[in-house]
């Protein structure tokens, strides 16, 4: 569904993405994991066409994303920080976005109702708590029933109940065969959802493998422990190289 080949992006001296190669397919829930600044959001934004790569290509259903912006209709995007016009009310934001999209697709309003946004329509965006803003972003991402969902830190700021509602929704959409990309630092949240893990560091893919493979390779059941194992191993290898150079 999405094919990434030799993707490179530099911000001045900083190599934010360094030769990324990956195939993302229907039915996968891919967790993008990595330290702060490792390139996760830059990769997501490149797929969305919001960041222009310096080199490499991204194909969406075999067509370069640079060819036509229409592919974006098939993607629901929940940004890390949703920015909306401050003076608009929740109800107006939903109406505006529905109007922009037209009536072509059947709406999926499950999150809209489960998050009880229908009871908050007169609240101005300016006055929203961080968590309610996240609920608006989540409900909008799923609203047009997209084939692909890209969720950047979706549970950050959500209360435990809202977080569970969102996770159940992701699982339900995965069962429908959608492709879902998620970044999160809360590994326990990803554990229940993920089929595959891409670990980024300094703009490079350290590994991209299925959860099962990762569990087998590390001997660890829990995602957090498995990732810690890989990171520790990486550090030991680097230390061994430094020692060899020093000697
Ligand atoms: N528009 C930009 N201009 C300059 N540097 C940028 C820009 N966008 C991102 N960067 C830099 O690129 C690197 C990768 O950033 P990115 O936001 O992709 O990281 P991330 O893995 O999503 O981090 P986090 O876990 O903190 O969200 C960082 O060093 C960041 O400062």
| Pairwise CA distance, residues 78 & 152, whole Å | 6
Nearest CA, atom 5, ligand 1: 11
**Atom 3 (ligand 1): residue with closest C-alpha?**
11
Whether residue 242 has pLDDT greater than 70: no
Contact 107, 144 (CB under 8 A): yes
Q: CA–CA separation, 36 vs 33, rounded Å?
A: 9
Ligand 1 is surrounded, with C-beta below 6 A, by: 11, 14, 16, 34, 36-42
pLDDT of residue 247: 65
Distance 217 CA to ligand 1 centre (A): 30
Inter-CA distances, 178 with 167, 169, 192, Å: 14, 12, 16
pLDDT digits (tens, 9 = 90+) for 223-237: 889 888 887 776 677
Least confident of 11-20, 122-131, 233-242: 233-242
Q: How far apart are the first and last CA of the chain?
A: 48
Whose C-alpha lies nearest to ligand 1, atom 13? Answer: 37
**What's the 81 CA to ligand 1 centre distance in angstroms?**
14
Tokens 């059947």, located at residue: 106
**Residues whose CB is less than 8 angstroms from the CB of residue 38 and which lie 6 or more positions away in sequence, other chains included:** 200, 201, 202, 203
Task: Give the CATH class of 3-246.
Answer: alpha beta
Dihedral sign, Cα of residue 194, residue 200, residue 204, residue 209: negative
- pLDDT of residue 189 exceeding 90, the answer is no
| Separation of alpha carbons 231 and 214, rounded Å | 12
Indicate if the pLDDT at residue 144 is higher than 70. yes
- Each residue's pLDDT tens digit, 22-55: 999 999 999 999 988 999 999 999 999 999 999 9
- CA distances (Å), origin 84, targets 140, 229, 247: 12, 40, 57
Q: CA nearest 185: which of 50, 18, 41, 45?
A: 41
Least confident of 78-82, 218-222, 233-237: 233-237
CB 44 within 8 A of CB 89: no
Cα–Cα dist 142/107, whole Å: 9
What pTM value is reported for the model? 0.91
Q: Give the model's pLDDT for residue 149.
A: 97
Return the best residue to mutate from 7, 8, 12, 14 for the ligand 1 pocket (most ligand atoms within 8 A of CB): 14
Quickly state the pLDDT bin for 241 (edges 50, 70, 90).
Answer: low
Residue 118 has pLDDT above 70, yes or no: yes
Ramachandran assignment for 147, one of left (phi > 0), alpha (psi -120 to 50 degrees), beta (any other): alpha
């Amino acid at each position: 569904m999405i094919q990434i080949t030799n993707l490179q992006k530099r911000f001045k001296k900083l190599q934010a993405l360094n030769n990324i190669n990956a195939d993302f397919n229907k039915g996968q829930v891919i967790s993008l994991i990595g330290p702060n600044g490792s390139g996760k959001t830059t990769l997501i934004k490149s797929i969305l066409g919001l960041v222009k790569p310096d080199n490499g290509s991204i194909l969406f259903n075999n067509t370069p994303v640079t060819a036509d912006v229409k592919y974006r209709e098939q993607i629901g995007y929940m940004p890390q920080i949703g920015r909306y016009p401050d003076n608009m009310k929740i109800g107006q934001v939903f109406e505006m976005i529905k109007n922009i999209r037209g009536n072509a697709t059947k709406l999926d309003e499950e999150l809209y109702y489960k998050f009880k946004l229908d009871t908050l329509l007169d609240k101005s965006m300016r006055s929203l708590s961080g968590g309610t803003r996240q609920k608006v972003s989540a409900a909008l991402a799923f609203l047009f029933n997209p084939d692909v969902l890209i969720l950047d830190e979706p549970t950050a700021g959500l209360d435990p109940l809202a977080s569970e509602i969102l996770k159940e929704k992701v699982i339900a959409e995965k069962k429908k065969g959608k492709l879902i990309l998620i970044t999160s630092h809360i590994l326990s949240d990803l554990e229940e959802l993920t089929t595959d893990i891409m670990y980024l560091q300094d703009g490079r893919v350290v590994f991209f493998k299925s959860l099962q493979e990762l569990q087998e390779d590390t001997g660890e059941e829990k995602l957090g422990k498995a990732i810690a194992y890989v990171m520790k191993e990486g550090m030991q290898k680097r230390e061994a190289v430094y020692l060899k150079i020093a000697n």
